[in-house]
Chains A and B, each alone.
Chain A
Amino acid sequence: MSKSITAKNLNVYYGDFLAVEGVNIEIAAKSVTAFIGPSGCGKTTFLRTLNRMHEVLPGARVEGELLLDDDNIYGSGVDPVTVRTMVGMVFQRPNPFPTMSIRENVLAGYKLNGARMSRSKADEIVETALRGANLWNEVKDRLDKPGSGLSGGQQQRLCIARTVAVKPDVILMDEPCSALDPISTLAIEDLISELKKEYTIVIVTHNMQQAARVSEKTAFFNIAGTGKPGKMIEYADTTTIFNNPSNEQTERYVSGKFG
Chain B
Amino acid sequence: MIESTQTKNPTPASVQGPAGGHEPPHEPAAMLRPNSLTGNIQPRWFLPACAAVSLLLSFALVVLLGDAEEFSINWALWFVFAAVIHLVLAYVITLVRINRRKAKDMFWRNLIYVAFTLALLPLVSVIMSVAIVGFQGLTNAGFLTSDMQGINASTDAGTQEGEHGVLGGIRHAIIGSLVITLMATLVSVPIGLLTSIYLVEYSQGGPLSRAITFFVDVMTGIPSIVAGLFGAAAMASFLSFADSLGIPVPGRSTMGVTAAIALSVLMIPVVVRTTEEMLRVVPNELREASYALGVRKWRTILKVVIPTAISGIAAGVTLSIARVIGETAPILLTAGFATRVNWNPFEGWMTTLPVFIYQQFTRPMHPTYHDPSFQRAWAAALILILIVMGLNLIARIIATIFAPKKTGR
Instruction: Give chain A's interface residues, CB within 8 Å of chain B.
Output: 51, 53, 56, 58-59, 81-82, 84-86, 88-89, 91, 93, 95, 97-99, 101, 108-109, 111-114, 142, 145-150, 159, 162-163, 166
Contacts and interface: CB of A to CB of B under 8 A. Distances in A.
Interface in B274-296: 283, 285-296
Given A108-B290, A146-B407, 14 more contacts: A53-B288, A56-B287, A56-B291, A95-B288, A99-B304, A99-B402, A101-B408, A109-B293, A109-B294, A148-B404, A149-B408, A149-B409, A159-B289, A162-B293
B300 interface: yes
A33 to B, nearest CB: 18
Given A99-B404, A114-B299, A58 B293 contact: no
B interface, size bucket: 20 to 34
Contacts of B295: 81, 108-109, 112-113
Contact of B289 (A82, A95, A99, A114): A95
B164 interface: no
A99 B293 contact: no
Which of A101, A148, A159 gathers the greatest number of chain B CB atoms within 10 Å?
A148
Contacts of B288: 53, 56, 89, 91, 95
A97 B309 CA distance: 12
B44 interface: no
Given A56-B288, A93-B285, A108-B290, A98 B404 contact: yes
Contacts, number: 101
B300 A112 contact: yes
A88 B292 CA distance: 6
A104 to B, nearest CB: 10
A51 B292 contact: yes
A86 B291 CA distance: 12
A159 to B, nearest CB: 7
A97 B71 CA distance: 65
B308 interface: yes
B97 interface: no
Interface of B: 204-205, 283, 285-296, 299-300, 303-304, 307-308, 402, 404-409
Given A93-B285, A99-B405, A146-B408, A113 B299 contact: yes
A31 to B, nearest CB: 21
Given A95-B285, A112-B300, A112-B303, A53 B408 contact: no
A53 B291 CA distance: 8
A145 B408 contact: yes
A84 B296 CA distance: 10
B405 to A, nearest CB: 3
Nearest to B307: A99
B309 to A, nearest CB: 10
The 5 closest A-B pairs by CB, nearest first: A149-B408, A85-B294, A146-B405, A98-B404, A145-B408
B404 A95 contact: no
B408 A148 contact: yes
A163 B287 CA distance: 14
A150 B406 CA distance: 10
A95 B286 contact: yes
A166 B294 contact: yes
A88 B289 CA distance: 10
Nearest to B300: A112
Given A81-B295, A85-B294, A163-B292, A149 B405 contact: yes
A145 to B, nearest CB: 4
B291 A84 contact: yes
16 contacts: A53-B291, A59-B204, A84-B291, A89-B292, A91-B292, A95-B288, A99-B308, A101-B405, A101-B408, A109-B293, A112-B299, A113-B295, A145-B408, A148-B404, A148-B408, A149-B408
Nearest to B302: A112
Contact of B294 (A56, A58, A84): A84
Nearest to B287: A56
